[in-house]
Amino acid sequence: MVDMSNNALSTVEAQIREQAAAYCASNHVPGFVAGVYHAGEQVIVAHGTANLATGTPMLADTGFLFGSVTKVLTTTLVLQQAERGVLDLHAPVVRYLPEFTLGDTILVRHLISHTNGIDADLFFPDAKGRDALTAYVSGLADSCGTLFEPGEQLSYSNGGMIVAGRLLEVVTGLPFPELLKRELYTPVGMTDSCTSAEEAILRSTAVGHFLDPETMAARPTGMFTLPDTWGPAGGTPIGTIADLLAFGRTHLAGGVSPSGARVLSAESTALMQQVAFDMDTPNTPPMGLGWVRYPFGDTTVLAMSGASPGGVSILCVLPEHDLVFTAFGNNSGAIMLHDQILRWLLGKHLGVQVPALVTELEQDVDLTPYVGTYRSNQLRVEVSVVDGQLEERTTYEPADASQERIFTEFAGGTTAAPPRRLVPVRPGLFAPAGHPLETFDGYLRLLLVSYHDVRDGRARFRNGGGRLTRRV
């Protein structure tokens, strides 16, 4: 039986503090903050520096960009409007957005289950203010297409969430930032959350950092947030660990916030947690609505991670164990620390048996079905066979100077990836060469690469990090 006493949370706090100090020191992560809620108690641990330019320390109440964790908030807002009869999850998006021109078979539920096929993962229109999301939807018609028929595949979709944000503006009459504050921040009790850099600067807020590839010295990002057009996908919302713990606890409690406010019905909360689509491949866990459902043995971890310029966040909710874990590190390498802590919480704190995801590599796999060129929005992946392994060469192909500027700043100046080799786990599933197999047991199963829909001896899709590229 797991000890749920204060002493158990003290052990959790000490463990996170120890892991954070060791990892940040050896991997050049300036600062880290994390929190755990379990069975009525919670702890928050902060370590290091929030901004190397100012020397500001990372504190328990330091704010940070949520990144794509925002997608679960956006989905919650959509479910709220569905409950109120303002939105029909099974209706075509064009019923509410006639200007949406990517097809009348994309349904509202496709937007929040990542099954819409919108090919806009790197589409960054630079618009600000009240009309930012209007500009985004308008730009889709000229700049983006679709990767697959709605409901046919699963591909992590920034574009779907942003269209959902614009849809919310239309049916409520409120700008997305105002809706987020009124319908989530306030009733959940996210008292230190905001939606802009102008608001964030009024309190302690962390910034992301990038590592110099030669000196390995960390430098603060030159771009704090993505454009306003990316708000619903995670570009602009900012808050604290306590705020995300409160949001996670709301989903633990069937839609009731820690203060007792009803934010979402129990039925809608459960619907978000149910399987909406399953690719049946280890590197892409089953998708709910908003939540990704990571299986760890018999335990399901509802999770979403979020990248921001030079930073990475995570939110995990474990309904079977009444636990929420959330964290932020101000260098992208902190995702490894997130994974370490999550696996410690599961294995040591909760006693969950986590089986190995990949136990061995298969030899003699025919590699020819996977060779070819795969494309998605502004991204090209060339796959060939070299020395009996797959080799991938990924090229960023910016649509215009504005897109190149924003993505380059988001990536810290480096947009070119070196070639990498993949070794077969089994037909259609590959692991990056040189990684210990236990690397993929946790959240980092996303590093595996899969190929799908083989027809006439050729795969139609490549899946890396949950995102599809299509053979051309």
Between CA 100 and CA 244 the distance in angstroms is 32
Query: Considering the domain boundaries, does residue 425 fall inside one?
Result: yes
Residue 277 lies in a domain: no
Please tell me what DSSP assigns to residue 348.
I
Taking only the tens of pLDDT, the chain with its 472 residues reads 344 445 789 999 999 999 999 999 999 999 999 999 999 999 999 999 999 999 999 999 999 999 999 999 999 999 999 999 999 999 999 999 999 999 999 999 999 999 999 999 999 999 999 999 999 999 998 889 999 999 999 999 999 999 999 999 999 999 999 999 999 999 999 999 999 999 999 999 999 999 998 888 999 999 999 999 999 999 999 999 999 999 999 999 999 999 999 999 999 999 999 999 999 999 999 999 999 999 999 999 999 999 999 999 999 999 999 999 999 999 999 999 999 999 999 999 999 999 999 999 998 999 999 999 999 999 999 999 999 999 999 999 999 999 999 999 999 987 778 999 999 999 999 999 999 999 999 989 999 999 999 999 999 999 999 999 999 9
Q: Is 38 helix (H, G, I), strand (E, B) or coil?
A: strand
Does a structural domain hold residue 161? no
Query: Does residue 128 fall inside a structural domain?
Result: no
How many alpha carbons fall within 13 Å on the CB side of residue 206? 37
Contact 412/209 with Cβ under 8 angstroms? no
Question: Could you report the per-residue pLDDT of 220-241, keeping only the tens digit for each?
Answer: 999 999 999 999 999 999 999 9
Residue at 93 is within a domain? no
Record the tokens describing residue 236, joined without a space: 């602009």
32 occurs within a structural domain: no
Give DSSP secondary structure letters for 443-469: GGGGG-EEEEEEETTEEEEEEETTEEE
Q: What pLDDT, in 10s, does the model give residues 22-67?
A: 999 999 999 999 999 999 999 999 999 999 999 999 999 999 999 9
Neighbours of 353 (CB within 10 A): 10
Rounded-to-integer distance, Cα 26 and Cα 22, Å: 6
Q: Are 393 and 419 within 8 A, CB to CB?
A: yes
pLDDT score of 414: 79
Task: From 115, 120, 101, select the one nearest 148 (Cα to Cα).
Answer: 115
The H or E element spanning position 429 is strand 429-432
User: Where in the sequence is the domain holding 457, given as residue range(s)?
Assistant: 368-471
Structural domain includes residue 375: yes
Does 430 reside within a domain?
Answer: yes
Q: How far apart are CA 33 and CA 58, in angstroms?
A: 7
- For 80, other C-beta atoms within 10 Å of its C-beta total 22
Q: For residue 404, report the phi and psi dihedrals to the nearest 5 degrees.
A: -65, -40
Distance CA 364, CA 119 (A): 34
pLDDT at 6: 58
- Which residues 6+ apart lie within 8 Å of 84 measured at CB? none
Domain count, the chain: 1
Backbone φ, ψ for residue 192 (5° rounding) = -110, 20
pLDDT on residue 142: 85
Residue 430 Cα to chain centre, angstroms: 22
